[in-house]
């Protein structure tokens, strides 16, 4: 097999029906081309990628579509606390994580980094406490939140006009299936804090 220096050309990849293997790519330093990827049907294996420093690019993967996670032997990999991975591990997803850089050398290290992000979000420094999966979506959006309180959710069109509003549980679902394809904004409000997420409906 040939080593991949980049993932350029995969920007429109939205779903994988089985396992995703990224292995033995010593020059692969960036996987942000995978930002459109919203589903992985089985396991995710990122192993022996000596130049890869971050999992940025996997942010929009629906963690409920992931069966297993393997992050091994990638000496520069230190930033693994992206939304999808945090949610997967926080909900006891099965994972093998070792022999990467500090910050991503064990499940515990990654969860600690995820907790720091959640703490920053809760204090208002960052707006990362709420995640929506998958994005882009074909209809249903799963809400994942570190805050247990319900949200007032507003669905806005691309011009910011209100389409609908509802009360939503912290880990509930939004149904966009009746809406035409396009760009939408989801405004989530609880406890005086407001988060706005950009969502693409296929």
Structure confidence by residue, pLDDT tens digits, 150-170: 888 889 887 778 899 998 887
Q: Is the bond preceding residue 136 a cis peptide, omega within 30 degrees? A: yes
Burial 144-157 (b: 16+ CB within 10 A, else e): bbbbeeebebbbbe
Pairing of strands 140-145, 173-175: antiparallel
Burial class (CB in 10 A: 0-12, 13-18, 19+), 62: buried
pLDDT digits (tens, 9 = 90+) for 97-132: 999 998 899 999 888 888 766 555 554 544 446 788
Strand, helix or coil at 90? helix
Q: Does the model's pTM come out above 0.75?
A: no
Count the neighbouring beta carbons within 10 Å of the beta carbon of residue 3. Answer: 12
CB contact at 8 A, 151 and 189: yes
Question: What is the model's pLDDT at position 192?
Answer: 67
Question: What is the model's pLDDT at position 45?
Answer: 97
Q: Is the pLDDT of residue 28 over 60?
A: yes
What number is the average pLDDT over the span 186-193?
Answer: 78
pLDDT digits (tens, 9 = 90+) for 129-149: 678 888 888 899 988 877 778
Pairing of strands 162-168, 173-175: unpaired
Question: What is the model's pLDDT at position 94?
Answer: 94
What are the residue boundaries of the structural domains of the chain, listed by start? 15-122, 130-201
- Domain spanning 130-201, CATH architecture: Sandwich (2.60)
């Amino acid at each position: 097999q040939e080593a991949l220096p980049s993932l350029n050309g995969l920007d429109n990849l939205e779903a994988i029906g089985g396992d995703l293997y990224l292995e033995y790519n010593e020059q692969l330093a960036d996987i942000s081309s995978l930002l459109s990827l919203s589903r992985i049907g089985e396991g995710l294996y990122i192993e022996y990628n000596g130049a890869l420093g971050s999992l940025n690019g996997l942010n929009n993967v629906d963690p409920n579509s992931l069966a297993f996670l393997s992050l091994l032997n990638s000496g520069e990999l230190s930033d693994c606390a992206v939304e999808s991975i945090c949610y997967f591990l926080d909900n006891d997803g099965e994972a093998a994580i070792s022999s990467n850089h500090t910050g991503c050398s064990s499940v515990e290290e990654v969860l600690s980094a995820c907790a720091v992000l959640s703490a920053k979000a809760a204090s208002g420094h960052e707006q990362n406490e709420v995640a929506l999966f998958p994005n882009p979506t074909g209809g249903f959006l799963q809400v994942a939140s570190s805050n247990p309180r319900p949200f007032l959710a507003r669905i806005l069109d691309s011009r910011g006009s209100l389409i609908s509003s509802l009360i939503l549980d912290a880990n509930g679902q939004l149904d966009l299936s009746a809406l035409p394809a396009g760009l939408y904004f989801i405004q989530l409000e609880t406890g005086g804090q407001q988060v706005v997420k950009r969502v693409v409906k296929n």
